Amino acid sequence: MFNFLKKSVVQADNHLYAPITGQVRSITESSDAMFSQKMMGDGFVVFPISEKIVSPVAGKVTMIADTKHAIGLKMANNVEVLIHLGIDTVNMQGKPFNLVVKVGDVLNPGDKIGYMDLKEIAEVGLASDVMVALTNSDDKISRLQLTAEDFNAGDRVGEMFL
């Protein structure tokens, strides 16, 4: 009914933002080897202390895994971003995640994506690390600059240089 209120164009913004409140570090500090060895691309990891997930970039939602643990975005500069919620949480079949976005949505940095239940993830013995991987960084990005410290969801944490 209110489709005219929806954003249709991805804004140009080469900054990166915290997808969740917590401690931001280089992706090399992730405990998941697939990410720490940059097999999925360069990026960063957040060790969360809250449950609200927001968009870490301005981008269009291109993919949501059936298990809700992974969301893909494409930026105006054609950088592809993967938000990966938790480590091995794919095995939880979507239970700890409540997402409010769908494929095709255009998001600004800090727009709400949903929530992840940190307690439920911890109860099954899994890590709740949130990885933000720039999956085509080798082709698109010359340098990534990050600030490693504590941030609130939606705070600017870095910038990519094309």
Is there a contact between 10 and 155 (Cβ–Cβ < 8 Å)? no
2: pLDDT confidence band, cut at 50, 70 and 90?
A: very low
* Whether 69 is catalytic: no
Query: Does 158 have pLDDT greater than 50?
Result: yes
**Out of 64, 81, 84, 85, which one is annotated catalytic?**
84
Rounded CA gap, 148 and 43, in Å?
12
Class in CATH terms, 3-161 = mainly beta
8: pLDDT confidence band, cut at 50, 70 and 90?
A: confident
Is there a contact between 113 and 55 (Cβ–Cβ < 8 Å)? yes
Query: Does 5 have pLDDT greater than 60?
Result: no
Query: Does 51 have pLDDT greater than 70?
Result: yes
> Which candidate, 23, 152, 27, places its Cα nearest to that of 83?
27
> Which candidate, 110, 103, 160, places its Cα nearest to that of 134?
160
Q: Sort 129 into a burial class: Cβ within 10 Å, 0-12 / 13-18 / 19+.
A: buried
Whole-Å CA distances, 14 to 4, 84, 161: 26, 20, 7
Give the domain ranges of the chain. 3-161
pLDDT tens digits, 81-140: 999 999 999 999 999 999 999 999 999 999 999 999 999 999 999 999 999 999 998 888
Residue-level pLDDT at 141: 87
Rounded CA gap, 69 and 114, in Å?
11
Residue-level pLDDT at 79: 96
